[in-house]
Each structure stands twice: as C-alpha cells, then as structure tokens.
Structure 1
Amino acid sequence: MAVGIAAFFLSSCGETTDDQLVVYSGRSQGLVDPLVEDFKEQTGINIEVRYGNDAELLAVMSEEGDQSPADVYWANTTGALANASQKGKLVTLPDSLTSKPASYTSSSGEWIPVTVRFRTLAYNPNTVDPEDLPESVMDLPDMDDFDGRIGWTPTYSSFYDFMTSMRLIEGEDVAKEWLEGMMSLNPKSYSSNTPMLQALAGGEIDIALTNHYYILRMKHGSTGTQSTDTDSDTAMDSDSDTSMGSGEIDPNATVEMYHFAEGDVGNLAMVTGAAQLATSDNAEKAQQFLSFLLSKQAQKFAAESVHEYPVIRDVELPDYMLDAEKAFELSPEYDYEQLKQLEGTLNLLREVGLI
C-alpha cells in the first residue's frame, strides 16, 4: 500500500525532539539540503527534513492526523498546497510573510510561493524553423507536419497541472478536443522530461512540451545540487528537481526554447510553495524558516541551482535565463489554488485513454 510505504519511509528518518523543526519536503535533496544547512548555520535551529513526493506526503499527513510531527510543508506544486488547505492542514500566515513575495501569492494566505517554473515548447533547430511554430499551444493539433514527431509526458505531474489550467481557462470541452487532436498526431509519450529532451536532441522527435528548466539544465547544468536524477515513471513524483549529471551537460545540444504568445496557457507559470502546518508546535521557528526561503540568498540559490524563477525582486539571474519580468508576462493569470481540481483532469485523461 503506497500510504504505508510512504509512512514507513518518512518515519524511518529518525525520531523528533521538541526543539527540532520538521519539514516535509516534496522538493528533492539537491535543492533542499544546501538551504537547510545554511539555515541551521545562521539560526542554530535544529531541522529535520523528510522527503517524499507531494501525493505521498499528503497521504502521510492525513494518516498521521493531529499526531503529525510536521511543522512545515514545502511542496512541489501549489495544487498540493491547495489540497492541504482544503483539508484544514494549514494555518493563515502573518502579513510579514505573505507581503514578501512580489508575485504569485496565495489567495488563501495560507502558503507562500517559493519559486516559479514555466511550461514551454522545446524544438530541434536542425529540423524546425521557430517561425513555423504556432502562436498558441491550442493550435498544435493542427500542425500535421509534426505527425509522429511530437514528444509529451501525459502521465507526469507538471502535465497534469498544465491540463488542469487548460480545463479551467479554456473549458472542459476545448481541453478534451485539444487532447484528442494531439493524439491524432501520434505523439511519442515519455515517462519523464529528461529522456524526452535527450530524444529531441538525438533527432527522434522535432518538438516537445516540457518545462523551461529541463532545457536549461541540459545546456548549462546545475550548480550547488547533487547530480541525481529524480525523474521517475510514477505520475505524481516530483519533476522539478532533476539535475543533469555533469557528463550529460551539452551547451551545444540541439534543443532550443520556444515561447507561445503572451498570455497563452502553453506558457503556464507553475509555482512551488511552502506553508506552516496546523500540527506545528514551533510556529515561530516554522515562520522563520519560511522567511528564510524568501531571502535573497535562498532565492538566488534556487535560480542558480535549478534555474527556477525567484518570487522576490532584485535577484540576479544567470544570463542565459529569460528576464523575469518578460517571463512572468508570458503566463496567463489564474488562481493557483484552483490546481487542487486535479480529479477532473485525471478523469479527462482516463476518458481519452491517456492514463
């Protein structure tokens, strides 16, 4: 049973003490551990991190109930945070925290955004002229020239968020029509983004629906993170923290990034975030940790290590990343709390036969 396995994994991390801050993290160790060590050094606060994907962590917290030792939930998706909020597991945060981010704030006031990722279209410049690509992701099903040459990850969590937003923005019927149109082009399905981009660079496909940071990691690598690939064929595994191994980095890889027109759902912003849990007995320390995640130091580290966008102002980005203001303008506006409406997306994917 998945919940039992997850609970065993989490509980195996060690016993907690009253003066210890416990963080349940849907983000991977490559990003989290260095920041946790910095926080410990700066504050002297003892902190333990227990890892799992968002689905596992939500299940474990439900199983633990009021006896959960967790103080902070650091999630990979805002849908998971909205789910936790809906179940009464989060507390309202003070204005001193919620006012820090410059954008992508929570409408519930129960979590803070930490970083932002964007959906994008990757293409092979040896076979594709970007001038021939559509202005909207909604028009991809009309691109008959790409029959059998499109890559996507229909069982992956970021694709679920993308489709949930499409359902909410464009409507259920339009989303279903888009999926059926895409399927008529015989796209190649991949279990995760890294092998898909490797196939793109290798000439097996011409275009691929992915997240921006995978392209940047392939071409520029990562700094400050462990070289571990957390990509998995399990649908709800974290898909934001994968670091390309040093031997796989190729600045000349034949993969480029294409942005759809401003406001298009194909440029969807996907937010990671963190919250204080209602089970916490260490509210002051929990909020201190959340504040640290919004510090310039932590935000800069996230930008440089995994190439995600900061949510506070005046953080310098690597020169190969699109300017933050321009990137933020590309995404449509939507309420990130609505990503909790995942079940409707899963039902739609089942209906068309993708899962």
Structure 2
Amino acid sequence: MRRPLARSLTALAAATLLIPALGACSDEPAGLVIYSGRNENLVGPLIEKLEDSLNTRVEVRYGDSAELSAQLLEEGDETEAGLFLSQDAGALGALSKEGRLAPLPSSTLDEVAPSHRSAAGDWVGVSGRVRVLAYNPDKAATPPDSVHDLVKPEWKGKVGYAPTNASFQAFVTGMRVLEGDDATRTWLKGLKANKPKAYEKNDEVLRAVDEGEVSLGLLNHYYWFAKAAEEGEDKIKARIHFLPEGDPGGLVNVAGVGKLKGADKKQSEYAQKAVDFLLSAESQKHFADETKEYPLAAGVKAANGLPPLDSLQPPKIDLGRLDSLKETLAMLQDVGMV
C-alpha cells in the first residue's frame, strides 16, 4: 500500500505545539520561540547553552523540517516563532521563495561560504553533511564512483537505502535540479527494478552494510563516523566512499537557520543573536565533535578522519533550490518507492 504524500499539517501542529518549553520557569514568557527540524537529542544541549547566552527563556517546538516549513507558511505573520532551524536547505528555500525570512546582515552571511548559504541572503548553513556510499569490502571490494552505476545488473538486490528518509529525498531533489525530472525518474525506476532493500533510517542501512546484509548503502557520512567513534573503527566492517567528479550522489547539504518575518523587535534581536551563536566556535565545535557533521564557520576543523570539506568534489548546486520536496515525493510515489 502506498503511503500518503504528506502527513496532516493539523496533526503536525497538534504534535509540535505540545512540546514542553525549555527553561526552569514555565510561566515566564519566552524571549525566543524556535521551530526546529533538528532532533532534540542533537541540538538540545546547544539550545540550553543558547538560553544561557541570551539570558532569556527559549521555547523550542520540534518536528519534521518540511512540515514545519509548511506550517510556518500557513501561519504567516501570525506565527509565534522568531527562528527556524532546519535539518536541510530545502525547507529554508521554500520559506525564502515565499518571502517569509528576514534578511541577515552581511557580517553574519560572510561567516559561511556562498555555497552554503542563501543566494537571497536570508538563511545560512550551520553544519554540513555529505551523501556517501557505504560498502562492505567483503561484498564490494571496489565501490562504484557514481550512483548511476547502482542500476547495473551486478548490484541487483545488493543496495540498501532509506526512501522515506528526508536525506534520501533531499538527494533525489538534488538530482532533479541537476539532471532534470525525466532523467531522475528513469534512474529511480532503474534502481527500483534492481530490487534495492528499503530501510527506515540511515543507521539501519549502515548496519545492513556492516553485517553483509547488503553490499552497498546510500546514507550521510556522519552515521559512519559516529559509529566509528562509539565502537572503534577497527570494529566496523563497513567503509564509506566519497563520490568524485560532481556526482549527484555526493551532494553536500546543510542544516541551516533563518530569522522569520513577523517577529516583534525584541524576538528578532534574540533571533539574530541565536544565528550568530550557532555560527560561533562553541557551536561549530559541537557539530564537529558531537554529531560528526562538517562545521561551516568560525574556522573550526572537522572531526579527525573526515576529509576536508574543500577536498571533496560535490555537485555544484544552489541549495535553496532543494525546496521542491512535494514534487520529489510525488515522483517517489509514482515509481513505488514510498
């Protein structure tokens, strides 16, 4: 049975608005309200530090980035939020396209490379992740250099992926932007015909590769580095391959942040300070050390073992154009992947 194209926004609102606010005093008005598409386990410690830095209560409402973006478009100027922290650039691009984000000062924008921020100057990336191929050396001694090779007969039934996961869908959106809808649909149909094994999450894909359940897996780089840090690199059979020459499978996406239009002056000031805090050395080091993502500002280096970001060969793409998730979901549904 095919899944619905998207979950109900009403259900989303009911779920997200019940998230308890941070702060010791629950009846104290929040100085800043954040809608966060990033998981609380990943950014909760940073939010607590942000609250101390701002010296005001910060209220966070967690949810799916794409659905929170849609919710913010629905709320318009009536939103209570002053800041949107997104898991990916596409959700920010959707808000930017509709004029729902406030411009950021050049001093903030200049903290991040142009490729990792909005061309319109209204959002910035705060951490980066790279799409990679995980592979089991016993099953795939030489992994392919392109996702286009995954439709070849030698990989039939040997590829793991997470079609309902946001990062896979962002990658497909990137392929649509880079190569067009027709070419992307053809590739998806070819992959589907090659009988890949579907999993719900990236970490399940990595487990399947590590245990030899599949030979290859499509996922984000940091899942492998987090597992290696936790268990020891010598305990992991799986390895990862960074795809060369601008292959769409090597997309570099970002988690990013933008200030929302409609916020009052005081909350807007807090929102700007929050953006700068997320670009600070303290926050960037958190992303490098704790989540194994790529830091994008403050001169902070990536975690040990990660190749430098500027040494990679990702496809050149305006990340703001990753906003057409609805069309990607429709395509994935059309080919029977979701």
TM-score with structure 1 setting the length:
0.85
Shift of 1:313: 5.0
Note the alpha carbon deviations across 1:263-312, whole angstroms, 9 max, x for none: 11111101110010112112211101100110111011111111110112
The number of equivalent residue pairs is: 323
User: For residue 235 of structure 1, what is the aligned residue in structure 2?
Assistant: none
Which secondary structure does the structure 1 equivalent of 2:258 belong to?
strand
Q: Write the distance in 2 (CA, Å) between the matches of 1:72 and 1:96.
A: 18
Q: Write the distance in 2 (CA, Å) between the matches of 1:192 and 1:11.
A: 25
Worse-matched range after superposition: 249-258 or 199-208: 249-258
1:40 aligns with 2:51: yes
Match of residue 311, structure 2, among 310, 320, 326:
326
Q: Write the distance in 1 (CA, Å) between the matches of 2:314 and 2:228.
A: 23
Q: Write the distance in 2 (CA, Å) between the matches of 1:342 and 1:29.
A: 23
| Contact kept? 2:29, 2:57, Cα under 8 Å | no
User: For residue 136 of structure 1, what is the aligned residue in structure 2?
Assistant: 146
- Following superposition of structure 1 onto structure 2, how do residues 312-351 of structure 1 map, counting pairs within 5 Å? 312=297, 314-327=299-312, 330-351=313-334
1:4 aligns with 2:10: yes
Which secondary structure does the structure 1 equivalent of 2:332 belong to?
helix
Name the aligned partner's letter for residue 119 of structure 1.
R
Q: Write the distance in 2 (CA, Å) between the matches of 1:59 and 1:94.
A: 25
| Contact kept? 1:39, 1:45, Cα under 8 Å | no
Shift of 1:25: 0.6
Structure 1 unaligned blocks of 5 or more: 222-248
User: For residue 184 of structure 2, what is the aligned residue in structure 1?
Assistant: 175
Match of residue 187, structure 1, among 183, 196, 206:
196
Shift of 1:347: 2.5
| Contact kept? 1:119, 1:209, Cα under 8 Å | yes
Name the aligned partner's letter for residue 111 of structure 2.
K
Shift of 1:181: 1.8
User: For residue 73 of structure 1, what is the aligned residue in structure 2?
Assistant: 84
Q: Write the distance in 1 (CA, Å) between the matches of 2:33 and 2:134.
A: 38
Name the aligned partner's letter for residue 309 of structure 2.
A
Q: Write the distance in 1 (CA, Å) between the matches of 2:144 and 2:302.
A: 28
TM-score with structure 2 setting the length:
0.89
1:301 aligns with 2:286: yes
| Contact kept? 1:16, 1:69, Cα under 8 Å | no
- Following superposition of structure 1 onto structure 2, how do residues 212-223 of structure 1 map, counting pairs within 5 Å? 212-221=221-230
Note the alpha carbon deviations across 1:62-109, whole angstroms, 9 max, x for none: 443332210100011111011112233211111121111134121111
1:154 aligns with 2:163: yes
User: For residue 238 of structure 1, what is the aligned residue in structure 2?
Assistant: none
Name the aligned partner's letter for residue 93 of structure 2.
A
Match of residue 256, structure 2, among 273, 277, 288:
273
Shift of 1:136: 1.9
Going from structure 1 to structure 2, the CA distance change for 1:94 and 1:313 (only over 3 Å counts) comes to closer
Going from structure 1 to structure 2, the CA distance change for 1:16 and 1:97 (only over 3 Å counts) comes to farther
Shift of 1:203: 1.3
1:58 aligns with 2:69: yes
| Contact kept? 1:26, 1:57, Cα under 8 Å | yes
Q: Write the distance in 2 (CA, Å) between the matches of 1:153 and 1:99.
A: 35
Which secondary structure does the structure 1 equivalent of 2:327 belong to?
helix
Q: Write the distance in 1 (CA, Å) between the matches of 2:137 and 2:238.
A: 7
Shift of 1:35: 1.2
Aligned-pair identity (%): 35
User: For residue 137 of structure 2, what is the aligned residue in structure 1?
Assistant: 125
1:291 aligns with 2:276: yes
Q: Write the distance in 2 (CA, Å) between the matches of 1:17 and 1:58.
A: 27
Q: Write the distance in 2 (CA, Å) between the matches of 1:301 and 1:314.
A: 13
Note the alpha carbon deviations across 1:1-32, whole angstroms, 9 max, x for none: 73233222333335786561111111111222
Q: Write the distance in 1 (CA, Å) between the matches of 2:30 and 2:250.
A: 43
Structure 2 unaligned blocks of 5 or more: 1-6
Name the aligned partner's letter for residue 319 of structure 1.
N
Shift of 1:40: 2.5
Which secondary structure does the structure 2 equivalent of 1:27 belong to?
coil
| Contact kept? 2:95, 2:101, Cα under 8 Å | yes
Q: Write the distance in 2 (CA, Å) between the matches of 1:312 and 1:334.
A: 20
Name the aligned partner's letter for residue 317 of structure 1.
A
| Contact kept? 2:205, 2:218, Cα under 8 Å | no
1:90 aligns with 2:96: no
Name the aligned partner's letter for residue 205 of structure 1.
V
Which secondary structure does the structure 2 equivalent of 1:31 belong to?
helix
Shift of 1:118: 0.6
Q: Write the distance in 2 (CA, Å) between the matches of 1:121 and 1:83.
A: 28
State the superposition RMSD in angstroms.
1.9
